[in-house]
């Protein structure tokens, strides 16, 4: 298997104040689990952008080095269409999709391509299901989009995010069985 190298995450329909915490967690998982950036639609939220940018600056951009970016797109449908034209494979996470275990063979075929993972919020419009190359579920039960993203990124990155510590931020954690060891670089 070949590990996916370039992954972006699109968070749909961010709503203030309802989604502030969840959208932040989606961004944190995207950064920590190896995505290159997060793009969000819905309501523009300068606070979300500032928070995610500060975390990336302080803790490091993303797995393997490089910057982790956050940006806003007003029209998520047009953005998805643009990425498709640019050769991205669109993976929409939904509890109504095909379970990820059954999709692993297909997902393995796309690991050498650029991937856009779409994470919903409120009811996802039908066109997102139609535009997606894969509608993928980590379970067919109600669950968190944060958990779905983490599991999907783990599968696409083959667990690399669990073994590496090369974020190159201002601070990092030195693993310890007991206690907290945060070190400034």
pLDDT at 111: 65
pLDDT 10s per residue in the chain (185 long)? 445 668 999 999 999 998 899 999 999 999 989 899 999 999 999 999 999 999 988 887 765 556 889 999 999 999 999 999 999 999 999 988 988 887 777 766 776 789 999 999 878 999 999 999 999 998 877 788 999 999 999 988 877 777 766 667 788 788 888 988 888 87
Other Cβ atoms closer than 10 A to 38: 27
What is the rounded CA–CA span in Å between residue 35 and residue 62? 7
What is the rounded CA–CA span in Å between residue 173 and residue 52? 18
Global pTM reads 0.90
Domain ranges of the chain: 7-184
Closest CA to 10 of 39, 44, 30: 39
What is the rounded CA–CA span in Å between residue 11 and residue 92? 10
pLDDT at 86: 94
- The third-level CATH classification (topology) of the domain covering 7-184 is Alpha/beta knot (3.40.1280)
């Amino acid at each position: 298997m070949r590990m996916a190298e370039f992954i972006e995450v699109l968070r749909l329909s961010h709503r203030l104040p309802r989604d502030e915490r969840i959208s932040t967690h989606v961004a944190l998982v995207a950064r920590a689990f190896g995505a290159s950036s997060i793009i969000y639609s819905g309501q523009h939220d300068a606070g979300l952008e500032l928070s995610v940018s500060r975390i990336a600056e302080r803790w490091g951009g993303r797995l393997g080095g490089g910057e982790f970016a956050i940006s806003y797109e007003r029209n998520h449908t047009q953005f998805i269409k643009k990425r498709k034209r640019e050769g991205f494979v669109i993976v929409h996470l939904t509890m109504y999709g095909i379970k990820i275990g059954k999709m692993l063979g297909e997902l393995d075929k796309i690991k050498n391509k650029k991937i856009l993972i779409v994470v919903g919020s409120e009811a996802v419009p039908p066109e997102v299901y139609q535009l997606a190359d894969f509608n993928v579920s980590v379970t067919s039960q109600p669950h968190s989009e944060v958990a779905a993203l983490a599991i999907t990124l783990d599968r696409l990155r083959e667990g690399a995010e669990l073994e590496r510590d090369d974020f190159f931020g201002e601070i990092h954690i030195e693993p310890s069985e007991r206690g907290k060891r945060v070190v400034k670089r």
